[in-house]
Structure 1
């Protein structure tokens, strides 16, 4: 399968997956584990021979870019009694994937990363990995403040090595004379500047670019609007909660709010991205009356390593030694993506001595009674077949801990074994999230939508059924 998967990805922009488990770049063991994961929706693992037949047939079709769930295609084909004869399978796939048959690749859009910290470097890794399939997004430049004589090599070294996410998969070359980094064939111009309004990007052949501001220094239209005064910039995306009238986008929930005329957008925060899809699913099925969100969050770069002055309350205390109670605006920010929940949620946060992966605890009162099995079953099905399947994942294991979720590309992962629901309206849910990589994946999805290049997810989703639960005896009385 592996050569076929690679060609589908590079030549057609097809990203094959099995219930959301991407096959691109996977080892034989990874691919077989994905086939075993299919037991989440069926009584047995997926047959690899069927997967190979579908992949080979996909390669013979004239397809545009798409994210294709092989397991769901096989399930539909088997349900109609398919024989896997090549012509019959080809006709079926043409029908199921009609939206991308003969589709042209999107026009490329230039991307500039303003700031190259934790999120900036992960977005760079994702964009570089996607470049091979002509995704429509081209990473052209990064903008940083000069940090010294060896600035360029240090930036490249930080891209090459990461203590949390591991080594960069590929080659990186540095050209100090031209101030560029060549990463897996992607040529990145490094620009040193302190003024977002004074850069002439057209000097580097960059035009109509989307600037991704990773600094967090400016969060309102006035501050972020400085980027728009630089030559070659068309739009700006903030990787933090936006203030004022700026739209805060949680992809999968309110991505349709992105309009062609939006010059400045926000991708909200990592926590808002983790909890909003789960809340959206619950509100649709049961109604969310009110709740409290407590986030157990890994420390971040704005905290002190040892006790020192900090303008924020408690954040001056040593991040690697303490649990630190602090504020979070995530609960209020949910209302920007889900207006119906405005005023219904409160929130707080505890920073803990881990470098990545956080946990959101949702203590909710729903619109009707629910059992643990019912709500877990609903969220599991939501993670597999709903429009939110790129945002929500689901796990049931008595052994998982935070490091098991490093590198998760979902916005949040529901821990089913931790769910508390006793047959009334109150429920407690635990949602893990990689606050670095998972969030960066959400940012890239917003970027793709802004550029008109987000690959369609096929086959189309199916309605997620909500299993009824008998009313409590007291309610009947």
Structure 2
């Protein structure tokens, strides 16, 4: 047998194992609200090839490739346990088992590592929590996709309605079509049907009422059987407490804004300050996509090296706020054609750092350049540190943060030498450290942070909503603090 034959046989063996993983992963998710992860990447509803690619990608962050032959025994061990709602990272189970010197079997080690999610310790399933989307644009539709994807067993978050302004004939069909197909993020994973008679969109069995209104004051959500709901405002029309409080209508308990909040509205970056949300807080903001991209690495760098001052330059994909062709715009430069120009503009992300990370006393400045790409941006974070260090130390530290810290869902890490922006479409992390571009000279460090300003940000929004609704289930093995 030749080497090529050996490689092919090995591939077919791994294909077979990945194929056998799918029903196990699906059943755990559907029946027990258990999400199986591999280095913080969900394996739920993934294809055979996608599971194999996710295992191979581990070499980018952990330094070596994982094989399904290594992770499958841990997945099988999980099926024998009395698991409650949780997220379990089989990549981390496999990695930590390698370094464990207690001589335990895979079954014994797994039972101990996830003990907090089993038996009397397990979290009780939450009753379904209604969610309403106010606005159904780029972020609204991606948040809808995520809510539908995470419906799981039917417990947790449940998308009940979207609120939009009437768009005329075939409005419902057109909105369903935009949810079904996306030029950047691809096809919706599942089925979508339209019930025009009842004014609903049915996506993977989730019945979503489409409510037409020009103002929050026009809607009584209880009339649609919606109660105690979390409303996600994707319009950005209201950004202060007074404006956002208009949404606190019958049936709505809390309002979450997908834009930077003004005044005393808390700006929340999940992973950094979500634990500061007061239980009785009814109005909050998820800040901006760029704020979510820079605050977690800023916190990580400040924790380890100290940050004395910094500047962030964002090279940002164009957005619907800009014009397709030159036309009037109230803001400077944004009236010029977005697909044809690099456009210097402002970013509020630097000033927003103080709201999300008040313990960081360093002054942070910022500016932005909009460029002719439809999605994925990069933040260039230039920092003056509190001590001298080396490039190797910074990269090893950030790699470890991406794998083991409480920020591992926010910070990803890549060593790919030819990485470009399109490679990060669909990333669920708030930002991805580009190891190859990182520069360190004494107490000066420059980090290049990729981020999917649409999908990665939408994932952060969902994490905040899960937290305030009480369905943010614990992750095992527990990250190092």
Give the TM interval when normalised to the shorter protein.
over 0.9
Within the candidate set 360, 375, 390, 2:409 is matched to 390
| 1:363 alignment partner in structure 2 | 382
Verify: 1:207 aligned to 2:227, yes or no.
yes
Shift of residue 198, structure 1, vs aligned partner = 2.4
- Give the Cα separation in 1 of the matches to 2:95 and 2:147: 32
- Asked if the contact 1:105–1:134 (Cα under 8 Å) also holds between the matched residues in 2, the reply is no
Change (3 A) 1:138 1:161: same
Shift of residue 35, structure 1, vs aligned partner = 2.9
SS of equivalent residue, structure 1 residue 407: coil
- Give the Cα separation in 2 of the matches to 1:221 and 1:100: 41
Change (3 A) 1:99 1:309: farther
- Give the Cα separation in 1 of the matches to 2:55 and 2:437: 26
Verify: 1:12 aligned to 2:47, yes or no.
no
Verify: 1:462 aligned to 2:462, yes or no.
no
| 1:418 alignment partner in structure 2 | 437
SS of equivalent residue, structure 1 residue 237: strand
- Give the Cα separation in 1 of the matches to 2:177 and 2:53: 33
- Asked if the contact 1:211–1:233 (Cα under 8 Å) also holds between the matched residues in 2, the reply is yes
CA-atom RMSD in angstroms: 1.7
- Give the Cα separation in 1 of the matches to 2:461 and 2:224: 25
| 1:173 alignment partner in structure 2 | 193
Shift of residue 341, structure 1, vs aligned partner = 2.9
- Asked if the contact 1:124–1:139 (Cα under 8 Å) also holds between the matched residues in 2, the reply is yes
| 2:87 alignment partner in structure 1 | 67
| 1:256 alignment partner in structure 2 | 275
Within the candidate set 451, 457, 462, 1:444 is matched to 462
- Give the Cα separation in 1 of the matches to 2:351 and 2:66: 42
Shift of residue 433, structure 1, vs aligned partner = 0.2
- Give the Cα separation in 2 of the matches to 1:99 and 1:385: 25
Within the candidate set 418, 431, 435, 2:453 is matched to 435
| 2:8 alignment partner in structure 1 | none
SS of equivalent residue, structure 1 residue 460: coil
- Give the Cα separation in 2 of the matches to 1:98 and 1:425: 46
Shift of residue 348, structure 1, vs aligned partner = 0.4
- Asked if the contact 1:66–1:100 (Cα under 8 Å) also holds between the matched residues in 2, the reply is no
- Give the Cα separation in 2 of the matches to 1:282 and 1:344: 14
| 1:292 alignment partner in structure 2 | 311
- Give the Cα separation in 2 of the matches to 1:219 and 1:96: 39
| 2:11 alignment partner in structure 1 | none
Verify: 1:193 aligned to 2:213, yes or no.
yes
| 1:58 alignment partner in structure 2 | 78
- Give the Cα separation in 2 of the matches to 1:239 and 1:179: 25
Within the candidate set 150, 157, 176, 1:137 is matched to 157
Within the candidate set 258, 283, 295, 2:302 is matched to 283
1:102-132 CA distance string (max 9 Å, x none): 4321121110000000000000000000112
Verify: 1:80 aligned to 2:101, yes or no.
yes
The gaps in structure 1 that reach 5 residues or longer are 464-477
- Give the Cα separation in 1 of the matches to 2:119 and 2:141: 34
The gaps in structure 2 that reach 5 residues or longer are 1-20
TM-score scaled by length of structure 1:
0.93
Verify: 1:401 aligned to 2:420, yes or no.
yes
- Asked if the contact 1:139–1:188 (Cα under 8 Å) also holds between the matched residues in 2, the reply is yes
Shift of residue 337, structure 1, vs aligned partner = 1.0
Change (3 A) 1:149 1:413: same
Change (3 A) 1:393 1:41: closer
Shift of residue 66, structure 1, vs aligned partner = 1.2
- Asked if the contact 1:82–1:89 (Cα under 8 Å) also holds between the matched residues in 2, the reply is no
| 1:184 alignment partner in structure 2 | 204
1:205-224 CA distance string (max 9 Å, x none): 00011110000000001111
17-26 vs 157-166, which moves further = 17-26
| 1:474 alignment partner in structure 2 | none
